Structure 1
Amino acid sequence: MNEVKECLRNIEQTYKIFQQQQFTFIAALEHTREDAHDKIRPVASIGQVQAYMDHHCNNTTDRRILLMFLNICSELNKLCQKLEALHPGTSVTNNILEKCKLLVSPSNDLSTIRAKYPHDVVNHLSCDEAKNHYGGVVSLIPIVLDCMKAWVAHSEKLPRNFLHNVSDGNADSQKRTQQDVSAKASTPLGPHPATLTTATQTLVSYKDYSQEQNSKHGKKEHLNGTGRNTWKYLNGPWKPPGKHSF
């Protein structure tokens, strides 16, 4: 939870800098929409801003502020994933999280959303700009930040054992994984006889057969040689019959 809070604080700090440059942001959208010949429809999605920057942005100032907006949206999207992984959630926190995920989706229609008090981003626009062009896109980030703060507030009210059990589950899973790795590391190298491949079995059989044949051949020669030598020593050298015979 502390990591989530830290991420949320960092995004808020970046947004404060962006908020101070809202007029620059609107001017960049004006320039890119004009270049895209898209002055009629409102800026209604993150994907639309991305397309303006990629294809119709002609100066570094406009690119910088549009990229800053897109980076904040990207960080909010990543934070949604962290929130989802932190704990299974309740009906309240899950509804808040689903709203956040929908809002930061690149294709979601933002044209009808409006940030309300204490946010004053819409008030900095003219009536025409607020109603027909930029009211939704400037309201996106403050609304999502408010939702994420609400998610954190509700999560902190959950029982301690709720988050503790989730942490224990992750720890047990890591422990089992480490045990499996240790068990594999302690297993002697080389395939178990029961898991030998067909090619390996064939090679082993061939070696056994060769050793058996060599053994038989050597045994035969040994027996033959032993037979000759035994006859020689038991009977002595051959001598013709006669007086020299003993």
Structure 2
Amino acid sequence: MDEVVQTLKKIEQNYKLFQQQQFSFIRALEHTREEAHDSVRPVSSIVQVQCYKDHHCYNATDRRILNMFISICNDLRNLCQKLGTVHPGDSVSNGLVEKCKVLLNDSNDLTAIRATYPHGVVNYLSWEEARNRYGGVVSLIPIVIDTMREWITYMTSHLLPNERECKRCKYEDPRLKNKAPWVPPGKNTY
């Protein structure tokens, strides 16, 4: 479980760097869409971003930021595979893992998803960009990271053993039943 948490922290650090360059990411998508003569259709999948990078990207800066997006998605996909193997879980945890897998599927349609508060990634886009072109692809990573955090929180609080549980439950230690009788203060019997 600690390995999953550390991996997610590393991905979050990479995402913070990516998030600082969101305008570069949007410009790279604009440039590659123009080269592909695909200005009408919204960016709707990871495969579409990969295709733009592989076949229509001629600028090193654009290629770097598109690679960063694809790399983060691949890291999240690998972590998602690891989540299912860490602990078998129950229906709630398995549902969270399945949600991540569906979102990170290469051909999944991202046009309908939008990150909500506290993520402002969609707020930085113009209204038309957010609504029609890039809202889904920009929202993908924060939604998946939030879902993975939710999985970690759920697993640590519900399914994984916890040392504090014995203090909260009604279990009585059998050793405490044989304690010495109460002796008033100041009257030692030795």
Q: Normalized against structure 2, the TM-score is what? A: 0.84
Letter in 1 for 2:26: I
Contact 2:115 2:142 in 1 (8 A): yes
More helix by share: 1
Cα distance in 2 for partners of 1:134, 1:50 equals 15
Partner of 2:48: 48
Letter in 2 for 1:90: D
What's the secondary structure of 1:158's corresponding residue? helix
Cα distance in 2 for partners of 1:161, 1:49 equals 41
Partner of 2:31: 31
Written as runs of structure 1 = structure 2, the 5 A alignment for 1:127-206 is 127-160=127-160
Cα distance in 2 for partners of 1:160, 1:127 equals 44
TM-superposed deviation, 1:78: 0.1
Cα distance in 2 for partners of 1:90, 1:153 equals 14
Letter in 1 for 2:155: S
Instruction: Please report the RMSD computed on the Cα atoms of aligned residues, expressed in angstroms.
Output: 1.1
What's the secondary structure of 2:44's corresponding residue? coil
The count of residues paired between Structure 1 and Structure 2 equals 162
Cα distance in 2 for partners of 1:31, 1:99 equals 31
Partner of 2:184: none
Moved beyond 6 Å, runs of 4+: none
Q: Normalized against structure 1, the TM-score is what? A: 0.65
TM-superposed deviation, 1:158: 3.0
Partner of 2:73: 73
Query: Structure 1 158/40 Cα, relative in aligned 2: closer, same or farther at 3 Å?
Result: same
Query: Structure 1 126/46 Cα, relative in aligned 2: closer, same or farther at 3 Å?
Result: same
Partner of 1:13: 13
Contact 2:25 2:62 in 1 (8 A): yes
Letter in 2 for 1:155: M
Structure 1 position 86 matched with structure 2 position 104? no
TM-superposed deviation, 1:91: 0.9
TM-superposed deviation, 1:101: 0.3
Letter in 2 for 1:119: H
TM-superposed deviation, 1:99: 0.4
Structure 1 position 99 matched with structure 2 position 99? yes
Larger radius of gyration: 1
Which structure 2 residue ranges, 5 or more long, are not aligned? 163-190
TM-superposed deviation, 1:87: 1.1
Cα distance in 2 for partners of 1:28, 1:161 equals 46
Query: Structure 1 159/39 Cα, relative in aligned 2: closer, same or farther at 3 Å?
Result: closer
Cα distance in 1 for partners of 2:145, 2:14 equals 12
Partner of 1:218: none
Letter in 2 for 1:68: M
Contact 2:45 2:106 in 1 (8 A): yes
Cα distance in 1 for partners of 2:99, 2:84 equals 12
Cα distance in 1 for partners of 2:21, 2:121 equals 11
Partner of 1:59: 59
What's the secondary structure of 2:76's corresponding residue? helix
What's the secondary structure of 1:114's corresponding residue? coil
Letter in 2 for 1:152: I
